[in-house]
Chains A and B, each alone.
Chain A
Amino acid sequence: MSSPYAVDLRGVTKRYNEIVAVNNMNLNIYKGEIFALLGPNGSGKSTTLKMLMGLVQPTNGEISVLGLDVVKEPVAVKEQVGYVPESPTIYEFLTGIEYLDFIADIYGVPTAEKQQRITEYLKALQLEGREGDMINSYSDGMKKKISLISAFLHKPKLLIFDEPLNALDPRSARIVKDLLHELKAQGVTTILSTHVLEIAEALCDRIAIMYQGNILALGTMEELRGRASMPNSGLEDIFLKLTGTGDLRAVVEELLR
């Protein structure tokens, strides 16, 4: 019987010298789930996502993605994953269309499908007319759109996005959100990290709040409210309470002095 988990982390730790970025993390993410990692800067979200992609090796622990060991079968894992880092540096000397062509070839997308998908995505995210320009002339938002398209092109089973909606215009952000919902219905799992709490609240089935490399709380919105004993609160209040950064008045007053 196949595992219900798309991602399974067991006792995962990542140390950078004396700094512990991720501390003994145990986490299961179900197939077809949209899952958010929240946390302040430096809490270990990006490191966790990179470990899932095999871009950072864990110091301890085991990571299984789609039933495959990330360390032992990295190529097989990457074939099934679409990934967009927080600030994707992409080949700026290529045109948008050349970059997507490159990505489709790397993932072995058949020619006919490649043509159809690239054309559709360019149209949907309003990049038509600029696809032949070199990427170094693109705005940050356009680069983000190209990066997102490159993650969707090969129809992955798992999407890993670090701040996916940063720099996107509202229309494109809405398209991406709707697309993620549609893909969820098709069984695609999405894991994302974000600082925009409204996105996590509106989009995700479950949320993990990380702080200093540890998962402070994990669950649906209702479960998080219960955990924080804040039954009618939004995610922002829960987040601030759980991460111990709730009383910000003194900080602001200090800055204004």
Chain B
Amino acid sequence: MNWKNVLYLLRVERKSGRLIRGIKATRYRENGFLAYWPYWVALIIGVLGGLIANAIVSSVYSDQAIGNLPFLTNGTLSVFVILPTVMLVFSFVFTLLQQIQLAGIKATGQVMYWLPVTWQEQTLASILSNLLGLPIAFVIGVGSGAIVFGAFNGLILQSLLTFAALIGAAFLASITTEILRLIQMRFIGAVYKSSGRAAIWVRLIGSLFFFVIIYVLYFYVIYGSGAVTLFTTLSNFQTTVWYVPFVWVALVVSYVFSGLFLQAALFTLLSALFIATLYHVAVFLNMRFGLYEPPAITLQKSGVYAPKAGLLGKLGFSTAEAAIIRKDSRAFTRRREMISIFIVPIIMIILPLMQSFGQTGRLGAGQGAGGIIFEAIIFLLPAGFTALLLGEVMIGEEGQSIWRIYASPISPKSLVKAKTSFLTLFSTVILLISGIIGIIVYQPPVEVSIAAFLGGFFMLLAVGIVGLTIGLKGPDFSQTRRARMVRQEWSLIGLVVGGAVGLFVLAPLIVTLGLSLFTGGAINTSNLAIGLAISIAISLAISIVFYRINLGIATDFLRKAQI
């Protein structure tokens, strides 16, 4: 193993992500300190967090030494014990998400395979590169917080051990993701070959199904119970399932803290063996399938081409507008990196459901303020977020193919109309799905359901159009391994502005429902109707204004094409 090669490959991976986005490439010099800002920020937050936690503990128990506070020591150690497993779950979900967001382009990913590096070096670099970004920042933040707190409270050795275990857990998660990635490559090839046109749907639905399961488990662990319950449950859970190799790293920490050094040594050895085995499996799979090219997906049989008259034309769209809408709808079902758009509303549905069940432990929890809030979240957030996200990425998703739009006789009006129509249609489907789930689970009154559907539709319309403004102002056409499609600063602006617009549109409805709820009276239908009418009026006003703004920006965007 040539570690320098691993380091070089890692550097290239990291730099390629940083350099390309929105930066003029000529005479570019990178500031070494600023380039790693997420890690510095995580370190600062971790250290501050540790200091604040220590300050709180010191002020509460100012007159006592830590040795006299066994419950504090035990509490801290029980948190330390579960941190590796929490890190494992977080890293696993995050690295899997990263994998699914990888762009479908092959070029950058294959360069490594041409270089004179061994499979072992290449695989290790790939595993480590999965961790770059949030997982490492999380390890640094949590680990430094634990060390600072431990240093002030006589737990320095324990915190250092926890930090090492955090690194081990993150690495374990990343190897697992690497193995799944490589198996998935071969599996996808088999699906393509055997299922033809159905491969598109098998891939889409299979990916979504996979993520739904992962997220249900993730939210069950993280949010399904309160923090205290989580700690005690997870701590006990780890010991009970000692035979699952993924918790062995955490068990090492647990046994050391309990003074069971023989068991700790045994599980250290087992953890090392497990990690080594997984790594060799990953290397083997990389050799077998790393460069595997899935066969082509055949969507139409050969023969005479017969164009179909589209429904969109009958709805008043020009042929160019209809062509853009059709193209975008295919992009969202066929491009792997677009699946994350589907995942967002799924999370938005699962999260409140898990929270709701965690609080009430049963279905039909639609009573009281909590129930109404969960209903509102299920009804409005998935579609609202989808509209905002779609609006933001509708232009950037063109990627390097944007030249095709620039070079085509597409007017700004057609572009804005097609993109707005697609995102509204797509988000409306999400609204219908999430709304139906909301009705089934929470069984709200009919008038509330109607108001939620209508309010939701007009909210997503306004938010989507505002999202498109962001997408037109800050598109990111770079096609690195993970396409962002909108520049980060504009994405943040979009989140703030889109959130404000959504709240503004829904404010009359929130006030109407809130008044009924907190005064303890029944929902007044006429008040609800008035609130809804005002919401619709606000939405239409915002939509018209921003649609016109979008036309102006699109004119400029198409005229000042710079490729």
Contacts and interface: CB of A to CB of B under 8 A. Distances in A.
Interface stretch (A25-33, A94-102, A170-178, A243-251): A94-102
Interface in A53-98: 53-57, 71, 74-76, 78-79, 81, 83, 85, 88-95, 97-98
B561 A89 contact: no
B18 interface: no
B399 to A, nearest CB: 7
Interface in B202-252: none
Interface footprint category on A: 35 or more
Nearest to A151: B407
B409 interface: yes
B104 A131 contact: no
B302 A107 contact: no
Given A71-B559, A105-B320, A94 B327 contact: yes
B331 to A, nearest CB: 6
Interface in B384-442: 399-401, 403-404, 406-411
Nearest to B410: A106
B409 A106 contact: yes
Contacts of A79: 409
Contact of B298 (A50, A90, A108, A133): A133
A118 interface: yes
A92 B103 CA distance: 11
A133 B323 contact: no
A119 B305 contact: yes
Contacts of B281: none
A115 B307 contact: yes
Given A115-B306, A131-B305, A90 B323 contact: no
Instruction: Determine which residue in A91, A98, A115, A119 has the highest number of CB atoms from chain B within 10 A of its CB, and name it.
Output: A91
Given A54-B561, A83-B407, A102-B327, A97 B305 contact: yes
Contacts of B559: 54, 57, 71, 74
Contacts of B403: 55, 85, 88-89
Contacts of A10: none
B479 to A, nearest CB: 8
B298 A89 contact: no
A118 B303 CA distance: 12
Given A74-B558, A102-B326, A105-B322, A89 B401 contact: yes
A157 to B, nearest CB: 13
B361 interface: no
Interface in A123-167: 128-134, 136-137
A106 B323 contact: yes
Contacts of A71: 559
A118 B305 CA distance: 8
A118 to B, nearest CB: 5
Interface size class of B (residues with CB under 8 A): 35 or more
B201 to A, nearest CB: 14
Contacts of B298: 132-133
A81 B407 CA distance: 9
B409 A75 contact: yes
Contacts of A83: 407
A111 interface: yes
A97 B324 CA distance: 15
A92 B327 CA distance: 11
Interface in B300-340: 300-302, 304-307, 309, 318-320, 322-324, 326-327, 330-331, 334-335
B12 interface: no
A17 interface: yes
Given A78-B408, A93-B104, A133-B296, A55 B563 contact: yes
A256 interface: no
A225 interface: no
B202 to A, nearest CB: 14
B408 A106 contact: yes
B408 A131 contact: no
B160 interface: no
A85 to B, nearest CB: 6
Max count, chain B CB within 10 A of own CB: residue among A75, A97, A106: A106
Interface of B: 24, 26, 104-106, 295-302, 304-307, 309, 318-320, 322-324, 326-327, 330-331, 334-335, 399-401, 403-404, 406-411, 479, 558-563
> Which 8 A-B pairs have CB atoms at the shortest separation, nearest pair first?
A137-B296, A132-B300, A105-B323, A89-B400, A93-B334, A133-B296, A79-B409, A78-B409
Given A55-B406, A104-B307, 13 more contacts: A16-B26, A50-B563, A55-B563, A56-B561, A74-B559, A75-B409, A97-B305, A103-B408, A106-B323, A132-B302, A134-B296, A134-B297, A137-B295
8 contacts: A50-B563, A75-B409, A75-B410, A89-B400, A91-B327, A97-B305, A134-B296, A134-B297
